[in-house]
Structure 1
Amino acid sequence: MRAILTSLLTAAVLTGSCLPASAQEQAYIDDRSDGAALIRSLYNAINRQEYARAYSYFSAETPPSDYRSFVEGYAKTVDVQVITGTVTTEGAAGSLYAPVPVAVKSTEKGGKEHVFAGCYITRIVNAAIQEPPFTPLHIESAELEEVKGPLEQALPKTCHSPS
């Protein structure tokens, strides 16, 4: 009996049936290979309601807020879509910065939609000069504001690096 219950629980976890229905529809994506991939991973985590993972993409030195407020900010959110624009990588003082233009559409419980546009600045300290613990590509800062219009038309053409 114990083996059957363990098998059922393992199958449920592996198939995602312990997750809410909307989270089950999203494949797990955790990609820090470039700025745009990191931002897509952030919103993948939010859609899957994996808020600790989403929060971990931000710099430990400059988090967007405290963790509890971060999670509460998504309490009404049922879906988030993101599109990213052209990313340019710039070097400065041993770091690589990648400003990522984004447009984001969030849908709340009840169907209310919001569109945001702006820029995320992603950063990695040159991997060749880091010592443990290694700090991967992360979100250094974000500036988004609510805008009118469809998602596809909200995307900024460019973003600028802090350097």
Structure 2
Amino acid sequence: MAAAFALSGCGREGAPAPATPKDGDTPAAAAAPNPASAATPAPAQPPATTAESTSAAVEPLSCTDQIGADAAAARVATCRAVSPATHPPCNAANSCAMIDDEIARSCALLGRDAATTAGCGPAADSAQAAADVVRRYYAAIDARDYATAWQQWGEDGRPGQSYAAFKAGFAQTRAVKATIGTLGASDGAAGSVYQPVPVTVEATLADGTRQRFRGDYILRRVNGVDGASAAQLRWRIDSAKLEEVPAQ
């Protein structure tokens, strides 16, 4: 199911999918099969795995699970310090990616003040901020926080694919790591800015198979046009093209 893992979010076609992903969602209109995964058998439980251990294996990881209690507490404190939300997702029981996404969202709302605000990273319109979206995307997948990964495509998720279909594409993925390459120049067109983000992705499947993919994500944001919302001014994944390469 590896090809489906890395390619399940690739491309960009069709109408937007439901905006609020939930684990119980039923695909409203599943995307067309990806050519790289069309011949892959439907996901099956790995051999010698009990129902109990399988359930535990796919539970989302908390930020505490990922980086330890002290580091998670520090990240939560930063999130609470910058978030304007009444009930922000600044909780160590959530994935680090979810917390980081709230920090990035909140810092983007601060505009120029973010540069002097403790805890805020690179400028929201920078190439590095675009790369951080791809990092959060794969960090969320690694933590099995598919809702946060889904929303890196935009508030309504990945166009042309339901959340249920998106999540199913990672059913056999147990670990994933993304390494960002050298960032090039952005390109503007029709009120939007596009930033290529080269990436190498290493994945481990439920049966222990290791796979490697390389390619580019294209991130998009609105170029400060009048009336643009804060969400439109943030980088979001627009498209992706990855190819499998020999694992190391």
Provide TM-score, normalisation by structure 1.
Answer: 0.70
**Cα deviation code 1:99-133 (max 9, x no counterpart):** 01111011011311111111100000013534347
Deviates more, 1:24-33 or 1:75-84: 24-33
Deviates more, 1:18-27 or 1:65-74: 18-27
**Corresponding position: 1:24 with 2:65:** yes
* Rounded Cα–Cα distance in structure 2 between residues aligned with 1:19 and 1:45: 9
The equivalent residue for 2:148 is 53
Structure 2: state its 5+ residue gaps. Answer: 1-58, 73-95, 106-123
Deviates more, 1:99-108 or 1:65-74: 65-74
**Cα deviation code 1:53-102 (max 9, x no counterpart):** 10111144853632111101111111101011122222222211100111
Residue correspondence of structure 1 range 93-132 to structure 2 within 5 A: 93-132=190-229
Q: Alpha carbons of 1:149 and 1:114: their partners in 2 closer, same or farther (altered >3 Å)?
A: closer
The equivalent residue for 1:67 is 163
Decide which of 79, 82, 88 is 2:178's aligned counterpart: 82
Provide TM-score, normalisation by structure 2.
Answer: 0.48
* Rounded Cα–Cα distance in structure 2 between residues aligned with 1:95 and 1:39: 18
Runs in 1 of length 4+ with deviation above 6 angstroms?
Answer: none
Q: Which letter maps to 2:168?
A: E
Structure 1 position 22, deviation (Å): 9.7
The equivalent residue for 1:142 is 240
Q: Alpha carbons of 1:62 and 1:76: their partners in 2 closer, same or farther (altered >3 Å)?
A: closer
Among all aligned residue pairs of Structure 1 and Structure 2, give the percentage whose two residues are the same amino acid.
35
Count of aligned positions: 133
Q: SS state of the match for residue 134, structure 1?
A: coil
Flag the structure with higher strand content: 1
CA RMSD of aligned residues (A): 2.6
